[in-house]
Amino acid sequence: GVDWGLIVFFGGALSLGAALLNTGAANWLISDIVSMLGSDPSTLLITVVLMIIAVCITQVMSNIALSAILVPLSVTLAAAQGQPIGTYAVPVAIACSLSFMLPMADPTVAMAYGTGYVKIKEILKAGVPLVIIGIIITIIVLMSPLAKPALG
């Protein structure tokens, strides 16, 4: 049958993302994040900070729900800076998928942990380097000139 709870959950996440944009809360959150980074932060610094925020939250929250919240915020930030909309949205969406540092982050990690053969310490030992590599590769690829047309 249809998992209605899951459908309602994702609908709620999408609604939350829309509400953040429509109420101006997205602009408020973004301006606070950017102001913490200094008077004129670089695109690279903002990208790294947004990706780290996304990676940390996605370890304890649904990837899709988090994307539904953070991608609209990223689009708002890019538009406010006169950047193409994909400048922050694409790396944030990718970071929301880097969910393999804790068992609650991903069903496959939870299944491995559930066997009893894998401990959280071992999951972290494998997951943290993978997340760091994922962030570095994403930034290298998206900062290359070839990626510019794809970012909008």
CA-nearest of 150, 33, 42 to 91 is 150
Which pLDDT value is given to residue 9?
66
Q: Are 99 and 81 in contact (CB under 8 A)?
A: no
Which pLDDT value is given to residue 97?
94
- What is the rounded distance in angstroms from the CA atom of residue 147 to the CA atom of residue 87? 10
- What is the rounded distance in angstroms from the CA atom of residue 95 to the CA atom of residue 3? 26
CB atoms within 10 A of CB 118: 15
- What is the rounded distance in angstroms from the CA atom of residue 52 to the CA atom of residue 56? 6
Furthest-apart CA atoms within the chain: distance in Å: 53
Q: Are 102 and 108 in contact (CB under 8 A)?
A: no
Which pLDDT value is given to residue 81?
87
- What pTM did the predictor assign? 0.79
Which pLDDT value is given to residue 132?
96
101 phi and psi angles, rounded to 5 deg: -105, -15
Which pLDDT value is given to residue 12?
74
- What is the rounded distance in angstroms from the CA atom of residue 34 to the CA atom of residue 104? 30
- 82 Rama sector, left if φ>0, alpha if ψ -120 to 50, beta otherwise: left
pLDDT tens digits, the chain, 152 residues: what are they?
776 776 776 677 677 777 777 887 777 877 787 788 887 888 899 999 999 999 998 998 888 888 888 888 898 888 888 999 899 999 999 999 999 898 888 888 888 888 999 999 999 999 999 999 999 999 999 988 888 877 77
Amino acid identity of residue 59, one-letter, is Q
Which pLDDT value is given to residue 6?
62
